Amino acid sequence: MQNCVSSFFGNLREPGTAVNQTLQGEPLNSLRTIGRFVINTTVGIAGLYDPASYFGISKGYEDFGQTLAVWGWQDSRYLVVPLLGPRTVRDTASIVGDQPLSAIGYVENGSVMLGLNIMQLTDARTRALPFDEIRSQSIDEYVMVRDAWMKKRATQITKD
């Protein structure tokens, strides 16, 4: 069930990823992402399953923060935003660009939208649970999380 929920929300992020790939000058990756979205939405039953990976179409995730980095906005200060978690000032500002690309934002029923947002936050927290043990054993949890997150983010931006 947990994998289905994660796949569902990952599938909802695909159109936004395709737009950001286009804005970053990667039209072929954008077309691949649109293909993933179509396959997973149809064959994968609204994205609950990920048959596109089975067919060899790898997934990637691009957000507007990565687009801003490609456009030249260098790393900025690290901060932790309640409910959203670790990010930089650039990534916090990028929410303005990511919000219109979020499928959940177009749900008109307020209670359904709230339920989807709560499920998405719960899914993100569940995916982070395996790291709780590592965090609890670190000498300085804040520094460890900051350094790990900044390295991960730099890797996402350089696509290594």
Residue 53 has φ and ψ, to the nearest 5°, of -65, -40
Q: What one-character DSSP code corresponds to residue 81? A: E
Phi/psi at 84 (5° precision): -95, -25
The pLDDT of residue 23 is 96
Q: How many CA atoms lie within 13 A of 107 on its CB side?
A: 13
d(CA 65, CA 71): 10
Among 9, 42, 3, which Cα is nearest to 116's? Answer: 9
Give the other-Cβ count within 10 Å of 128's Cβ.
Answer: 11
Burial class (CB in 10 A: 0-12, 13-18, 19+), 7: buried
Sign of torsion over alpha carbons 61, 92, 105, 4 = positive
**Which pLDDT score is estimated for 32?**
95
| CA angle, residues 19, 2, 135, in degrees to nearest 5 | 85
Taking the C-alpha atoms of residue 95 and residue 98, their distance in angstroms, rounded to an integer, is 5
> pLDDT tens string for the chain (160 positions)?
878 888 999 999 999 999 999 999 999 999 999 999 999 999 999 999 999 999 999 888 999 999 999 999 988 899 998 878 899 999 999 999 998 988 888 888 889 989 998 888 888 888 888 888 888 888 998 999 999 999 999 998 887 4
Helix (H, G, I), strand (E, B) or coil at 43: coil
**What is the model's pTM?**
0.85
